[in-house]
A = this chain, B = another copy of it.
Amino acid sequence: MVEECATTRLRPRDRIAGAARDLFHRHGIRGIGVDAIAEAAGTNKMTLYRHFGSKDDLIIQCLRDVALEAEHWWVELETDHPGDPLAQLHAWIAGCAECVFGDDRGCDLANAAVELAETDHPARRVIEEIKTKQRNRLANLCREAGIAQADLLADTLSLLLEGARVSRQSVGVEGPSAKFVRMCEAIIASFQNPKSAERRREAPAMAAN
């Protein structure tokens, strides 16, 4: 399929970006070199550097492409369940489950944040920006679905997803990730129950956390 990526005559820039995304995802950012990317894209390093000024630029482009794909998925959710935010939320969970179980590498954004440890790496700003946007999007969906504590639910689901994808990398699908859907559904149900909401409000003295 790498071959296909090279033969389907896209423009070199897109072939490079595509190959880079695939290889970064599978081998990690630091685990693959620009030369291998260029070769997988059916081109060479020189052309790569003519389109992307540096490996960092290429990394950032890939992260933005990931975000774009997620963006498309969000509109897909909406067209599949028009005017039914609750159904969209359940579809969101199902889609996330597909991500978790259908792929043994986690979220490219989170992985990049782990790999690029330098706090001033240019990709970090991009990662934060995208993740924040996605978080807000999920919170909006929860709000539209009539959840009272929408932000808290969105953040809980975010952490569960993030945790499921990283746990899947450490211990595999049989680990805690296996119950991802069940957890999410249960928590949504709990948020829809007014009694539970009350408990959530009164519970912690240190509500700041």
Contacts and interface: CB of A to CB of B under 8 A. Distances in A.
Interface in A180-204: 180-183, 185-187, 189-190, 193, 195-196, 199-200, 203-204
A113 interface: yes
Given A175-B131, A180-B209, A160 B158 contact: no
Given A166-B162, A189-B199, A117 B28 contact: yes
A175 B209 CA distance: 11
How many copies, total?
2
Interface residues of A, number: 64
Interface centre among A27, A169, A171, A203 (most CB of B within 10 A): A171
Interface stretch (A7-15, A71-79, A102-110): A102-110
Contact of A204 (B163, B185, B190): B185
Contact of A159 (B114, B117, B177, B200): B177
B207 A171 contact: no
26 contacts: A28-B30, A28-B115, A28-B117, A30-B30, A30-B31, A106-B114, A114-B114, A131-B170, A132-B175, A152-B182, A152-B183, A156-B179, A158-B163, A158-B176, A159-B183, A160-B163, A162-B176, A163-B163, A178-B209, A181-B206, A182-B203, A186-B203, A186-B204, A189-B203, A190-B196, A193-B199
